[in-house]
């Protein structure tokens, strides 16, 4: 689909909402037969950002290398009753590195919440063990160990957080899990680790590069792995592991091991002058929006060609009180254009009747001039 078509869908949805508001304003009493349509409430959840201090080198080298890319995030409950997605943004979580993650929970929210709180810590610790981490094999080893530690930690008793709806139902905690798509961005490269059906896409040179591949049970290599472990892929409202889970890799879900594993697929991509942006999102977006369309929408926002219309469906996260970083910390660059892009993608997903939570992170990879 072309850029204009996607924009038209969003504008059309905004116009429908505007007309609906006018009708409500001048509604006449039509008696008991009159029916009032209720709009689906959509909650917006803003991701927290934390900066970690790092040693300051000379201004000429550390200013650019330690600068966090401009970014925008949004996470909405959508048409689901419960919010099970989580987003983690950790600028400067390790020296010269910035962490972006999207976690899509299922069964309950506590595994996704645990990933949000701990995953960056495990990654930082594993990277700290091998300062040489630069080759693809070294990055893959560090990320695999991080995901394995995260998976082990959520499997421990008491992994649920206070207020979790399965807190008093311990046996059901084994039925809880989360996808995880994580990007570590440095001045030289973008390292993406994916486990599940959330996705990372790089917009480059007017096109797109998929940095992850969805882990679906009917993916030929995944189906072979599941069957080799003694499991089965059963088609029940789509392909599912043992007829239950619609993804073949996830954090948690201990009752489906060893068929569902937490081992991520890792890609290491060198950054270039033609890189435009990085999109991380849960399947609430990707189920209804293609990689190409998502990149087209974000590109238009970053180039100033598209702006959100009336905010009838969702509202973007409020801007931070101050974008100034604390002394010794990497600069934090929350950006309105990136936030607008994330907002437009979310509105497009909802206009196309996405039935899931929708969480989007947009990272601007263009060089700051």
Strand order in the sheet with 199-204: 44-45, 71-76, 358-364, 275-281, 199-204, 207-210
Whether residue 232 is predicted with pLDDT greater than 90 in this model: the reply is yes
> What confidence score (pLDDT) does residue 133 get?
60
- Can you tell me the mean pLDDT for 66-78? 91
Whether residue 307 is predicted with pLDDT greater than 70 in this model: the reply is no
What Å distances lie between residue 185 and 27, 91, 94, 96, 368, CA to CA? Answer: 53, 9, 11, 9, 15
> What confidence score (pLDDT) does residue 166 get?
62
Q: Which two three-digit tokens encode residue 42?
A: 């959509």
> What confidence score (pLDDT) does residue 4 get?
60
d(Cα 232, Cα 66) in Å, to the nearest integer? 47
Whether residue 278 is predicted with pLDDT greater than 80 in this model: the reply is yes
> What confidence score (pLDDT) does residue 10 get?
60
- Can you tell me the mean pLDDT for 227-245? 96
pLDDT band at 14 (very low <50, low <70, confident <90, very high): low
Which of these ranges, 42-56, 108-122, 217-231, has the smallest mean pLDDT? Answer: 42-56
> What confidence score (pLDDT) does residue 189 get?
95
Cβ atoms 6, 352 nearer than 8 A: no
- Can you tell me the mean pLDDT for 208-225? 97
> What confidence score (pLDDT) does residue 146 get?
97
Residues of the chain with pLDDT > 70, as a percent, come to: 67
What are residue 362's DSSP bridge partners? Answer: 72, 279
As a whole number, the mean pLDDT across the chain is 80
> What confidence score (pLDDT) does residue 170 get?
53
Whether residue 156 is predicted with pLDDT greater than 50 in this model: the reply is yes
More confident residue, 46 or 139: 139
> What confidence score (pLDDT) does residue 135 get?
83
More confident residue, 316 or 324: 316
> What confidence score (pLDDT) does residue 45 get?
52
Environment class of 24 (CB within 10 Å of its CB; exposed 0-12, middle 13-18, buried 19+):
exposed
Cα 52 off chain centre by: 21
d(Cα 281, Cα 75) in Å, to the nearest integer? 9
> What confidence score (pLDDT) does residue 28 get?
29
pLDDT band at 129 (very low <50, low <70, confident <90, very high): confident
User: What pTM, to 2 d.p., does this model score?
Assistant: 0.81
- The ranges assigned to domains in the chain are 45-213+269-364
The CATH number of domain 45-213+269-364 is 3.60.40.10: yes
d(Cα 108, Cα 83) in Å, to the nearest integer? 9
Whether residue 23 is predicted with pLDDT greater than 80 in this model: the reply is no
d(Cα 239, Cα 245) in Å, to the nearest integer? 8
> What confidence score (pLDDT) does residue 314 get?
45
> What confidence score (pLDDT) does residue 175 get?
86
Residues of the chain with pLDDT > 90, as a percent, come to: 62
């Amino acid at each position: 689909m072309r850029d204009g078509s996607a924009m038209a869908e969003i504008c059309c949805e905004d116009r429908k909402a505007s007309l609906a508001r006018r009708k409500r304003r001048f509604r006449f009493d039509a008696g008991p037969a009159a029916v009032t349509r209720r709009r689906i409430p959509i909650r917006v959840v803003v991701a927290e950002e934390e900066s970690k201090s790092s040693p300051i080198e000379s201004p000429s080298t550390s200013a650019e290398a330690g600068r966090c890319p401009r970014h925008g995030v949004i996470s909405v409950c959508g048409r689901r009753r419960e919010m099970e997605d989580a987003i983690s943004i950790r600028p400067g979580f390790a020296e010269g590195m910035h962490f972006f993650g999207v976690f899509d929970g299922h069964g309950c929210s506590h595994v996704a919440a645990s990933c949000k709180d701990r995953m960056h810590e495990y990654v930082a610790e594993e990277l700290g063990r091998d300062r040489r981490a630069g080759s693809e094999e070294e990055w893959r080893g560090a990320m695999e160990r991080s995901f394995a530690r995260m998976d082990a930690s959520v499997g421990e008793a008491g992994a649920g957080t206070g207020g979790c709806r399965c807190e008093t139902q311990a046996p059901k905690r084994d039925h809880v899990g989360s996808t995880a798509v994580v990007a570590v961005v440095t001045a030289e490269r973008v390292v993406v680790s994916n486990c599940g059906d959330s996705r990372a896409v790089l917009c480059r040179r007017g096109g797109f590069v998929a940095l992850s591949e969805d882990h679906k049970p009917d993916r030929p290599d995944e189906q072979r792995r599941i069957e080799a472990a003694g499991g089965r892929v059963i088609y029940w409202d789509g392909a599912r592991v043992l007829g239950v889970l619609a993804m073949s890799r996830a954090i948690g879900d201990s009752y489906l091991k060893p068929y569902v594993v937490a081992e991520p697929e890792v890609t290491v991509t060198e950054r270039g002058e033609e890189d435009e942006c990085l999109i991380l999102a849960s399947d609430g977006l990707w189920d209804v929006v293609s990689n190409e369309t998502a990149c087209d929408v974000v590109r238009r926002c970053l180039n100033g060609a598209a702006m959100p219309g009336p905010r009838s469906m969702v509202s973007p996260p409020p801007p931070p009180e101050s974008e100034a970083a604390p002394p010794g910390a990497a600069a934090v660059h929350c950006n309105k254009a990136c936030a607008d892009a994330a907002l437009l993608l979310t509105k497009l997903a909802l206009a196309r009747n996405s039935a899931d939570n929708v969480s989007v992170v947009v990272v601007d990879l263009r060089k700051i001039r």
